[in-house]
Structure 1
């Protein structure tokens, strides 16, 4: 056996020895490197052939190249030249080995990042090899992440972003899609989360490649693609396994101690997985980083109007356009008539389209446009010919539109919709009541007098504005109460100091144990408590003197300009605002106003689920002001046979009988006969039975006899 063969057979051992002491094995490496070069020259003659010995040599040389940088100076260029010349005709396995060798040398700093990216994008992505594409994408993402670990490498990032921008403008669908996926992944990892990256991704929304266009739209909508879900496919399958499934699986089959332990381990594993589950937080910051949101939305809407794509792709366009309009308060007036033609109960995905209408509403839109949409929704959805769910969805949509622009509601339409507060369907009545509650806070004058409710402190300062009118304020509302709290704290602190000084001056006090002294002390304590209560009542009466509007404004402006408010101060102001919404502004708050005939006016109680919905929303949705689909589809409907009603029926049936005994007939009472029971049964239950009992004709009997005889002959 020759020396070359011995070295080739022991390449892993030689590789380990070289990494430990490169100088001692330099001659052995040179000998093996000459053998590698001779084999590598043969690759150009037969590029599509698999050579195991060559693959082992390529891997060996790439692992020890950093130890002999001078000898391996031209090695990366050799690999790059071969891939450029024979990228599509090379054997798949040999090509993958060379690519992994280049990646290894790039991790050791022997190749520049931009040089490797150009090779991968311009040459290798033309190959029909999925494993190769996944390897390239993973390496590029990890490499850029590694370069930005300690600090942002702005020079490298700028060069790579310019290169990605040129790739995106090309017509190679695979290269464009990979460049887009890399940029999206780096944005989600907070590596390339700058304005330049977002606008490069935004340019792909107008790509002629549908797959690229959909990926860019999903990025801005924070819809994670199915590709991301496939990465954790195993964990998803485990999460789908519930506790009930595990227990049912143990119930079937032979009960053994081993199966019992397996079930217990599976339940513990399931509990651990449920604890590890995290709530997904969606990041809508990319919508704020667009250079020109108005121009972007107008181009996107023109593309939507002339698009021949699937309906799902059009829905993505509508969603993104509506979000940008509502977020940046843009004016795209042609968008509303476009959506208006889809507002029909039988329309596919109509709840999403209703959501897009609500998302695209804001105060700067002319009221007549939104009023037209509200009337269309009322005419098509809120009619008694539709089901309760359809009516509730229509009312919820109008409520969400009016919450963003209350000028979209006409007084006559509001009076008609408020009449549904006593509708027989609970979901419709609850939606109507929530609309009434909204206008109690926005503009109670549009409501009928009986629907306005009690006048509150919040309504005193409420000033409905016309279209285009603003009411800026130079002070923080409610800040006047902060001065009162400070004064109360100062008084309490001074009182405590006085008590401490008094106790120090008195020193030791003699204590008597006679009953007379005890009675005198009790009388003195009672007198002191009475005086204290009287003083507190007088102070309270003094504090409750109402301030005028000018005094309140001046005090609030003074406090806002002199103090830096803390988080506790803002919490107090928030509590004050909530109190104003429920507190009656009339002097006698306990008595309800009487009608002319002496009867008291009833107040409608509004049942809404706004608090629970606010808790269920993510923080990002609350901060961005986006509307959730649950707000549109929220239907408060009680099932006909829920747990409470069934339990009440069971308890009612147990009345009048023994606890654990069978039901017994009462004395003197006899059960009904079967003939009597037939009279109360449904005819459809008796129809087959009566049909069998009808008398057959003579002809039918002959046919039946003939068939039976023929059947007997066949059996013999």
Structure 2
């Protein structure tokens, strides 16, 4: 190949020629490479010394010539000379990590672009790039650079897991993030209470920065569906015990299902802090543009979504709770954290720990007896955020919780909340809390105390009356022997006469022989699809999965579900619909009038042996059960049928809210369950605007219609007509009235003659 005249200072031309023939232009490339290498070595000799070499290097690096040489020439042609440029990526990485504070912002951005370009060209691996990006996050103070780093990390990991899971990269990155959290675990717990908040913030910026970013990145990757394994959960679980309260809070919110961000420098807009009125005012006074309108609509939509998410409350992260390693040790560590650092944490932080401990205890049926002694100090009606504390207490109880540990808590609830010296809403909250505790462990209630509590069913306050009746109805079902004979009701009395006894503490129910409602599904398929398809047609099964499979890569929008996770069974039937076999027998006895529904329930279906049930099938089973219960209510099934229908509808609503099956969703309660039915709450801004819009439907535009309906040509009234109808006190000080008082006799005569003349013309 014949070489033409070449100017080595013409970087684009040199780059083009090297790409076309790397061997022939190796000498020119080495000339530029040696120039870059000598400059780098000078900088490495005295990086912190303010001498002539340092000033010369900073000036040289700040010029566009060196940036052009690095970005356009060396980066884009480095793959053609792998032997000479083998150390080039490490040079850029060390320059960023070791001399980050000495570099200008544009040089940092340029070096970051160089590393990303090397990754795109395959010169370095994803792990090599991520090893440089992760340490930069806690060090940078530039929001724009931090946004670029976060986007690069997410894009790189998402691309690596796009077709199939890249387990090698995922394990390496997860190990790196786990190490970032683990390095700060040896510090002293500072807390976030009072004066410790400023101290904790100072420590967080130094030793807790990388742990915070490790938790935030893991949460984001989990939220987007890129990671959904137990190792991701282990990273955040370790962050729950980090000495920095800020890291603890971010980790606790992950398991509680909250989207609340605790990173102060997060560039994403937060709907809870957006001043909508201020933005609208700025939009009114500034120049109107399409881009401004589009941006305003986007911000308002985001703010509205954030308000709705906050009003819905926190939804438990069921997959993360399920994938916890050694839940018993995790729960005991949470309790030790509460007890040991009670004086250092604020009340809000302690409630977060209580909520997570309660949900882990309920989900895995743990036994942490010290928690029920610890929470006694907060069971007072004047305690701040007492509904959240009562919710955590009731939620932590399950069938295997010892009644002896719960009896002191129930007794204190009765003494503190249920007496004439407090308001009716306090009494209702106390009764509802005890009802939820006894629903999970009935043996925690004492006989004499129960008699006093159900006496409040005659209260004039609706909330207290409903709470007391709910407690009475609960014990009619689970243990009517604790009630007086006149309070048991007909069904419970008949059951006791037949020898029915409440299940003792620790009783393990027999495994389910059938899926409740499966008979209804079998009959439905037989009537609609024929016998063959009801027995399990393969094409029908494949179609039934449409719309229920969740892709491994979810969208950026917030979602409670992160996909199906295959886990081993823990002995519980998570596919059953919240009612046990004993309760089914009880409801069958209570519905003697609907013989058809009872006979269907007693029959055992063989559909599960010939057909793989899909999520669509289980959703259809729920609908069929609700239809059957509705028919039972319409057929005079009695109060028991109405309660059955109400429980099925409530379970369906809870399942749709929490994003889990009915049995799992029934474990968790909210503060509204503790507060009970209350007066209609004051509507928020969006609800008021919607109500106003509904009231204006079908109505003419607001404004006066005077003079528009009676005239041929619609027009408004004149100012003279308006002045004629004004009250006298409104015109006493006007110039016209004051002028009439000072009129001469000549002026009065002229006005009178003019009035007579107008009247005469009007009559003729």
Partner Cα distance (2:99, 2:172) in 1: 27
Among 126, 130, 155, the alignment partner of 1:113 is 126
Counterpart residue number, 1:634? 676
CA contact (8 A) 1:322 1:357 kept: yes
CA shift digits 1:9-51 (9 cap, x unpaired): x76x659957985769888766655554454445444178353
Partner Cα distance (1:198, 1:403) in 2: 31
Deviation for aligned residue 1:235: 7.8
Counterpart residue number, 1:286? 320
Counterpart residue number, 1:556? 603
Higher mean alpha-carbon deviation, 82-91 vs 343-352, is at: 82-91
Among 178, 181, 195, the alignment partner of 2:213 is 178
CA shift digits 1:512-558 (9 cap, x unpaired): xxxxxxxxxxxxxxxxxxxxxxxxxxxxxxx99979x9x999x6347
- Point out where structure 1 has 5 or more consecutive residues left out of the alignment: 494-542, 591-603, 644-716
Instruction: Go from structure 1 to structure 2 and tell me whether the alpha carbon gap of 1:487 and 1:87 turns closer, same or farther (over 3 Å shift).
Output: closer
Partner Cα distance (2:208, 2:633) in 1: 57
CA shift digits 1:128-152 (9 cap, x unpaired): 6455555444433332222111111
Deviation for aligned residue 1:563: 6.8
CA contact (8 A) 2:514 2:605 kept: no
The answer to whether residue 380 in structure 2 is matched with residue 344 in structure 1 is: yes
CA contact (8 A) 1:426 1:637 kept: no
Among 254, 270, 274, the alignment partner of 1:219 is 254
Counterpart residue number, 1:46? 54
Deviation for aligned residue 1:119: 4.3
SS in 1 for 2:378: coil
Counterpart residue number, 2:427? 391
Partner Cα distance (1:240, 1:100) in 2: 35
Structure 1 residues 619-630: aligned runs within 5 Å: 619-620=658-659, 623-624=664-665, 625-630=667-672
The answer to whether residue 345 in structure 2 is matched with residue 310 in structure 1 is: yes
SS in 1 for 2:209: helix
Partner Cα distance (1:582, 1:155) in 2: 60
Partner Cα distance (2:490, 2:305) in 1: 48
Structure 1 residues 104-503: aligned runs within 5 Å: 104-120=117-133, 124=136, 127=139, 129-131=141-143, 135-171=148-184, 172-227=207-262, 236=271, 241=276, 283-307=317-341, 308-311=343-346, 312-448=348-484, 451-452=487-488, 455=491, 464-472=502-510, 475-476=513-514
Which of 1 and 2 has greater Rg? Answer: 1
Among 65, 74, 78, the alignment partner of 2:77 is 65
The answer to whether residue 67 in structure 2 is matched with residue 55 in structure 1 is: yes
Deviation for aligned residue 1:409: 2.8
Instruction: Go from structure 1 to structure 2 and tell me whether the alpha carbon gap of 1:570 and 1:155 turns closer, same or farther (over 3 Å shift).
Output: same
Partner Cα distance (2:255, 2:362) in 1: 14
Aligned length: 561
Instruction: Go from structure 1 to structure 2 and tell me whether the alpha carbon gap of 1:414 and 1:236 turns closer, same or farther (over 3 Å shift).
Output: same
Deviation for aligned residue 1:332: 1.0
CA contact (8 A) 1:125 1:133 kept: yes
Deviation for aligned residue 1:411: 3.4
TM-score by length of 2: 0.60
Partner Cα distance (2:41, 2:214) in 1: 33
Partner Cα distance (2:211, 2:303) in 1: 38
Deviation for aligned residue 1:569: 5.8
Instruction: Go from structure 1 to structure 2 and tell me whether the alpha carbon gap of 1:106 and 1:270 turns closer, same or farther (over 3 Å shift).
Output: closer
Partner Cα distance (2:208, 2:273) in 1: 35
Indicate the RMSD between aligned Cα atoms, in angstroms: 5.2
Deviation for aligned residue 1:98: 2.0
Instruction: Go from structure 1 to structure 2 and tell me whether the alpha carbon gap of 1:459 and 1:105 turns closer, same or farther (over 3 Å shift).
Output: farther
CA contact (8 A) 2:271 2:303 kept: no
CA contact (8 A) 2:8 2:14 kept: no
CA shift digits 1:63-121 (9 cap, x unpaired): 51356344644422332343465445444543443233223212322123333444455
Partner Cα distance (1:190, 1:215) in 2: 18
Partner Cα distance (2:179, 2:270) in 1: 38
Partner Cα distance (2:594, 2:97) in 1: 88
Partner Cα distance (2:226, 2:494) in 1: 46
CA contact (8 A) 1:456 1:583 kept: no
CA contact (8 A) 2:522 2:607 kept: no
CA contact (8 A) 1:323 1:359 kept: yes
CA contact (8 A) 2:456 2:468 kept: yes
Partner Cα distance (2:106, 2:146) in 1: 13
Partner Cα distance (2:632, 2:415) in 1: 36
CA contact (8 A) 1:475 1:556 kept: no
Deviation for aligned residue 1:378: 1.4
Higher mean alpha-carbon deviation, 222-231 vs 74-83, is at: 222-231
SS in 2 for 1:348: coil
SS in 1 for 2:394: helix
Deviation for aligned residue 1:344: 0.4
Higher mean alpha-carbon deviation, 372-381 vs 14-23, is at: 14-23
SS in 1 for 2:468: helix
Deviation for aligned residue 1:320: 1.3
